[in-house]
Amino acid sequence: MNQYVTGTAIKELREKKKMTQLQLAEKLGVSDKTVSKWETGKGYPDITLLEPIAEAFCVSVTELISGNTIYNSNVSANVLKSKFYICPVCGNVIHSMGEAVIHCHGVLLTAAGPEQTDENHMIFVERVEDEYFVRIEHDMTKNHYISFLVAESSDRIQMVKLYPEGKPEARFKINGVKRILFYCNRDGLFYIDPVKGIDDRESGYDDSGERRELEATAKMLFG
């Protein structure tokens, strides 16, 4: 275990609960002097007390140990506020609709921060009846590839897992999609607003000939 609950964390959580040292002690079956020792850094609670302490504060053991208590005020969980956690060891992808404390392979994960697409991560979106056909200009080697594609609506996500040496493309039901994201295993998470992208039917980008010309020009400009 790389971390352990600190006295500062116990004190902050106790005070947020408006609980005295004696009240906490009674819940845990210890003395108030013992709680005082924990909070002043003169001792640590026994490992068998971690779950009871977490229960007393209504947090998880992981939150207790990390010191990062999560207060999810948005219980309605807007999907457009989704967060994605990607394990650098195994590539595992965890999706959350709010704040979370996520560990994988012993690593405390942070949410990937999405950036707008750039010339090295070009995405082409085409409307085909009731679907978006999404294709990314990107190599798909064993060491450098697009890991997944996601289409976000206000009430749902559609995710497609991709693999090295496969094609970086997917189809999504339009269903009010507001944002499309994809993850490059080396460069991180990127996004595009499909309405502002080259998928707009009214702008004529659904014409296959014009699309091929645009892609050819893009390749000339950006290699």
How much is the pTM?
A: 0.60
SS3 216: helix
* Residue from 56, 60, 68, 66 nearest 25 by CA: 56
Cα-to-chain-centroid distance, residue 79: 11
- Of 190, 185, 168, 51, the residue nearest 119 (C-alpha): 190
Q: How many helices (H) and strands (E) does the chain have?
A: 6, 12
Element (H, E) at 130: none
pLDDT tens digits for the chain (223 residues)?
446 888 888 999 999 999 999 999 999 999 999 999 999 988 889 888 999 999 999 888 877 887 766 555 544 556 778 899 999 888 899 998 877 778 888 788 888 989 998 888 889 998 899 999 999 999 999 989 999 999 999 889 999 999 999 999 999 999 889 999 999 998 999 999 886 554 444 443 344 455 556 656 656 665 5
> Can you spell out the DSSP letters for 71-114?
----TT--GGG-EEEE-TTT--EEEESS---EEETTEEE-----
CA distance 30 to 35: 8
Q: In the chain, what is the straight-line distance between the N-terminal and C-terminal CA atoms, in Å? A: 47
